[in-house]
Chain A
Amino acid sequence: MQLTDIMPLLQEGTVDTLRMVLISTALGYLVGLPLGVLLTITSKEGITPHPIMYRILDLIINITRSVPFLILLILIQPMTKLIVGKSYGTTATIVPLTVAASPLIARMVESSLKEVDRGVIEAAQSLGASHTTIVCKVLIPEARTSLLVGVTIALGTILGYSAMAGIIGGGGLGDIAIRYGYYRYETGVMIITVVILVLLMQILQWLGMLISGKVDRRRV
């Protein structure tokens, strides 16, 4: 197979992969960010402790996080089919990716928000700030550097998962690597897709660190 033959294929695969990763991570934040905030504020040291709520959320997140991604892919296939109409392809893969991303993101958000200095939160409380104000104007902005590092890690992890989804026809670069590299013994194609994946990961990491450093005002 000539390189020129697979160029369009690789291009399409890269776009598909990026689309899956970005959409799933965004949806993951839609679920994970509020969950992470809830975990933080309902914990024992939080601004509105609620042991029962905390325990329940904690448990759900631990359970979903302990299911290996491949198993999750297969387990939620019926749900995927229900939502998207089919269980293979790029769009369908967004469902399991989002399910895997959400608890991971919730945990990372929780750990970022917990880094915010207790004293600063107390200062806000002493000024009469409401819980919403503390979350939106203290916790999240003060933790933004750490939160952005979290975004980078989430994107990287989901990129890895998206490649894994190739095994069940998930679309994108992983799919290409498996179809050509594994089933048709086209090692060259497989290597190229891996190289692209590595490059994507590098760019993500570099961009993430650059942006999170740029927004940090704690450094002179």
Chain B
Amino acid sequence: MLRISELVNSDASLISRRCWTDQAVYDLEVRGIFGRAWLFLGHESQIRRAGDFVQAYMCETPIILSRGADLRIHANINSCSHRGLPVCRADHGNTRRFICPYHNWSYTVEGELSTIPQENALAGKPDKSKLGLKRVPRLESWRGLIFGSFDPDIIPLEEYLGDMRFYLDAFLGRFPAGIEFMGAPHRWVLDANWKLPVENQLGDVNHGAFLHSAIIPREAQDLIEELGYSVVTRPGHGATFRLMPVDAPVDEVAWGMEGMGGMFGGAEVQEYLRDVQANAAERVGPLRARMKGLTYGVYPNLSFLWSNASFKVSHPRGPGKVEYWSWAVVPADAPDAVKRVLRTNYSSFFGPGGILEQEDSEVWVQQFKGSNIDFADDRPYFYGLGLGEEAPHPQLPGLVSVTANEFYARQFFSRWRDELQAVESGV
């Protein structure tokens, strides 16, 4: 029997291959991490009107996220109380009832059981108030981002996010009406472990110069690394970004300008982006106005790619499979034509057809193969780059370092280890 303490050493500079492949480890992850964390479900812009719904997942558990007739947000497990079928099959939509195909039990959009067709023929009437869909016990949102948790006693979402809010707000707070998600997520399935996409988006900026060198010129990457910071606000939560010089021209700082849409999408788009940047200091303060983000991660499996405007979730499907979701995000107040251009900042390079992300998808799959081989268990992966070189910073919350320092990954794995050990020992 594997013990978690043998998989990650004390400073998390050595990570066992079994962390990525072992079924027993995965079972602990499901209970010890996904059963206890705040998990990202969606954005409020996806369910604006009463009756709107979208599908979501909490680990492998299918969730319906909906806006009730009361305009409140609801999250329920998508599984009928009668025999367990999913009661909702569409990716998104608007409805008053979810009707189960098998025997047509129907549920309200809030998740209450509404009718049991068979009961008319029977004397006994089941208590419907106890037979609704199973509710996600905790549901909270912050700045439009909706999270759920299976742990009824979890700390409030804002406390969980902690100082990560400082960095998230540098983006979310930049736009007068916040952001919105465009359309259904792109979802694709890879033979990889869920943690590698997470690690990649948590702080692995420096692979750009190598894995992506067919597309990203060395000089561009050098500039990124020169101005780049990597921070960890709490193990598992982190951000990387550039802090642009105070006198940098607006076009070099403004979010969106460096994407294909921003560069080639026309004058209206560029004017919009310059306008946002012109008001950024007022909205998020002078320091964060100079921030030009790269990657973000919120423990355990939410990522945000600032430079290519997308939110991503890495949904586990067992140790060796992941369903990766990503959405294009755009400023909510932008004209429709501008939104349609800005979404290409994401899709040009990322997503299942992305010129850059096809490379990432490939290495995530190859890493899982490498983790699975025999006769290499005595060679854990080396996570020691930059060990101990991170430090607090006078202006930036969290531990701060250069982007080459892999402390973001060590911090992730020390939290991961501690949480799995807690469930392993029955805490």
Asked if A pairs with B, the answer is no
Q: Which residues of A contact B (CB under 8 A)?
A: none
Q: Which residues of B contact A (CB under 8 A)?
A: none
